[in-house]
Amino acid sequence: MAAIHEGLRLHLGGDRPGARTLFAGLWAEIGDDGDPLHRCALAHYMADVQDDVADELAWDLRALRAADSLTDERAQEHHSSLAVKGFYPSLHLNLGEDYRKLGDLANARAQLALARATLDALGSDDYAAGIRAGLDGLAERLGEPVIRVADPAEFAALREVELDSDKMFPEMEFPPGSVLDEVLNELDASHTVLAAGNPPIGFIVTGPVGDHLHVHQLSVRRDQGRRGVGSALLAAAVDGAEVPVTLTTFTHVPWNAPWYLARGFELFEAAEWGPELRELVAEEKAAGLENLGPRVVLRRFPKISRATGTS
């Protein structure tokens, strides 16, 4: 890794040809079947010193393939904080930019969605903030929705998003009104409403419930599903939380409890609930939500920042 870092030093010092020559020599030594950590790091940095975008894409794809064969155990031999899943947001971001530059917008958008779906692997440090800013920039250049703080003037539009999202459950007759309206009645500076896109195609509302940060509502328009919008909203709202995050959801709907479980949430047993959360669950039960199907409370603990060695 020391030699790879020497090439990085040359690159950052403005000597791209020198860095490219050094990296090429190292790749010849490591080979296509060499140590996956070395291949991933080297290919990642080699991509950054290419003058041709097609060559940059080829190296970024090599970095991705190397990450796919890398284990946490090997990564942690280099640094105990490393986890392979923390590599993927950056790798997909770079590939998205490559495809965008080449005019392949379909693959660029696919890479953006993959990057957003892996954001939960990051913490709340400067590296993570840089990756999120990079994804917002890529989204903007692709005409995809950027995550932002919602303007109170557009809350009516957010209600329409929520009602449209509820139509994914045609067999379920929800109580009248909207969760957004209920939350807005108690909205104060401790609550956050984030929107995706302008006009909005999705939103998330979070606020304190006891000593937890609670996700009151996450909605995405039906015609905008499977684009990573929900993952991006969730990541933007809670990944930097310094307290545990909680939410209530249905167990039998694939994009409810199973979706959150895949993003690091775990079952939160009733014996551990505080009085505020007990009251919230009781209010949902009184509103008739449990009549629509079994519900569960989930919790996710604060993330530990992971340096990934990629950017």
Q: Residue 239: is its pLDDT beyond 80? A: no
pLDDT in tens, 74-112: 989 888 888 898 999 999 999 999 999 999 998 998 898
Range scoring the smallest mean pLDDT among 91-105, 141-155, 176-190: 176-190
Range(s) of the chain covered by CATH 3.40.630.30: 147-300
Most confident of 51-60, 148-157, 237-246: 51-60
From the candidate CATH numbers 1.25.40.10, 3.90.550.10, 3.30.70.60, 3.40.640.10, the one assigned to the domain spanning 2-141 = 1.25.40.10
On whether the CB atoms of residues 98 and 60 are closer than 8 A, the answer is yes
User: What is the CATH number that goes with domain 147-300?
Assistant: 3.40.630.30
The whole model's pTM is what? 0.61
On whether the CB atoms of residues 234 and 218 are closer than 8 A, the answer is yes
The partner residues of 299 in beta bridges, in order of sequence, read 246, 266
Check residue 309 and give its pLDDT. 35
Taking the C-alpha atoms of residue 207 and residue 260, their distance in angstroms, rounded to an integer, is: 18
Range(s) of the chain covered by CATH 1.25.40.10: 2-141
Strands (E), 122-262: 147-149, 192-196, 202-209, 212-220, 245-250
pLDDT in tens, 262-276: 999 999 999 999 999
Three-class DSSP category at 119: helix
Question: Residue 205: phi, psi to the nearest 5?
Answer: -120, 125
Range scoring the smallest mean pLDDT among 21-35, 74-88, 261-275, 292-306: 292-306
CB contact set of 15 (below 8 Å; sequence gap of 6+): none
CB contact set of 138 (below 8 Å; sequence gap of 6+): 93, 96, 97, 100, 108, 112, 144
